[in-house]
Structure 1
Amino acid sequence: MKTDGADQIRKALANYVDTLKLEFTQGMILPTVNGVQKEQTQSKPKIDLQTKIATSQLPSQTKSVGVKIPTCKINLKDEFMTSPEELYKIFITEELVQAFTHASAAVEATKGGKFRLLDGSVSGEFLELVSDQRIVMKWRYKSWPAEHYATIKLTFLGKNDGTELQVECRGVPLGEEDQTKAGWQRYYFNGIKQTFGYNVRLF
């Protein structure tokens, strides 16, 4: 009986000591004999922390994408009395952009390069640049909802003695179609023709 009682007391004391060690070392990294147990208990807070971080970041990630708004697609085209090579250069050369918009502009003509036109009223990023053939870009008016961009695809097609420029705009906010069309007509099409003399209209 005495030996059984002593064994039970030893076991109870050992459990008590282990419990004290566990409580004391939670959240701490200490090399001890019971390292395996501590790694197991510490793994739970780490997983919980990562889960909390991931879930807490979800709202901010959705915010950065911008608000989901109803959008539409518009298509424009015009013809310029110049070659596709010359017309392409006008869209990617900072000095030429400043010339036809009659305002300050910043243009980084590389994939991923940013641009700002008309004193910051228009901004975006180049997604694809295929020399003399195609430009794809993220594009927005300053007045649009924050972080919302349309995708603009410019296609340069040699036609007769000139170039047909086809403009496809995807993701234009509903209600902004007329302003977007008018802006492209005034600041791009008419601006380029008046500045460089490529004055011919497609019927």
Structure 2
Amino acid sequence: MAIQKMLLNIFCDVFASDRRLRRRFVATSALQQELRMTEVIRQDVTFEATPDRVFEALVDGPTFTRMTGAPAEIDGSAGGSFSCFGGAITGRNLEVVKGRRLVQGWRAGPWPEGIYSLVRFELEGQGDGTKLTLEHSAFPPGQGDHLGAGWEANYWAPMRKMLADHAA
């Protein structure tokens, strides 16, 4: 729970400069408190590529588009916004440590307005490859199975294919 509070504070700091977004976030914070889930998706996946290549696939719009075949616009900086899969997934980058960590305020289009989950990607070099640990939390009730399967189908499988094609 302490990590969620810390990330929510970072999230608030990112939006502090935008009064409209800050008001919307504060107005929905009570609802966000109701959505604190005990359920956390945790996935460990490995890729035959460097941490920098894996990181690039997550934060570079053209690379993400090439990987998934779906439109993506990504500002890879801290505080930068992203829109993936033609706007089906949107959010902001809360913490960006190149090649090591990416933390996002992440939302799916059909969720109630102002509701963001927390997604954390940790990257660790392992020989010639990379171990990526995903933690996805604070999502609406009943979404865990769908989201968990979506990470494999929409992120990991296409990323493995793209990185393998690039290595060949």
- Under TM normalisation by the shorter chain, which class is it? 0.7 to 0.9
Match for residue 69 of structure 1 among 15, 35, 49? 35
| CA offset digits 1:24-79 (Å, max 9, x no partner) | xxxxxxxxxxxxxxxxxxxxxxxxxxxxxxxxxxxx77534362335222211100
Q: In 2, are the aligned partners of 1:122 and 1:139 still within 8 Å (CA)? A: yes
TM-score of the pair, normalised by structure 2: 0.77
1:197 counterpart = 2:168: no
Superposed counterparts of 1:1-203, under 5 Å: 63-65=27-29, 67=31, 68-69=34-35, 71=37, 72-197=39-164
Distance 2:143 2:154 in 1: 16
Q: 1:86: how far off?
A: 1.1
The higher radius of gyration belongs to 1
Distance 1:181 1:64 in 2: 25
Q: In 2, are the aligned partners of 1:126 and 1:136 still within 8 Å (CA)? A: yes
| CA offset digits 1:114-170 (Å, max 9, x no partner) | 000001110110001111110011011112222111111100111132100000112
Unaligned runs of 5+ in 1: 1-59, 199-203
Q: In 1, are the aligned partners of 2:35 and 2:139 still within 8 Å (CA)? A: no
Amino acid at match of 1:84: P
Q: Structure 1 pair 139/160, CA: closer, same or farther in 2 (3 Å)?
A: same
| Runs of 4 or more consecutive aligned structure 1 residues displaced over 6 Å after TM superposition | none
TM-score of the pair, normalised by structure 1: 0.64
Greater length-normalized contact order (CA 8 Å, ≥ 6 residues apart): 2
Amino acid at match of 2:68: T
Distance 1:173 1:61 in 2: 16
Q: Structure 1 pair 61/82, CA: closer, same or farther in 2 (3 Å)?
A: closer
Unaligned runs of 5+ in 2: 1-23
When the two structures are aligned, how many residues end up with a matched partner? 140
Q: In 2, are the aligned partners of 1:83 and 1:162 still within 8 Å (CA)? A: yes
Q: 1:196: how far off?
A: 2.5
Aligned-pair Cα RMSD in Å? 2.0
Q: 1:177: how far off?
A: 0.4
Q: 1:172: how far off?
A: 1.9
Amino acid at match of 2:35: I
Q: In 2, are the aligned partners of 1:135 and 1:153 still within 8 Å (CA)? A: yes
Distance 2:63 2:78 in 1: 19
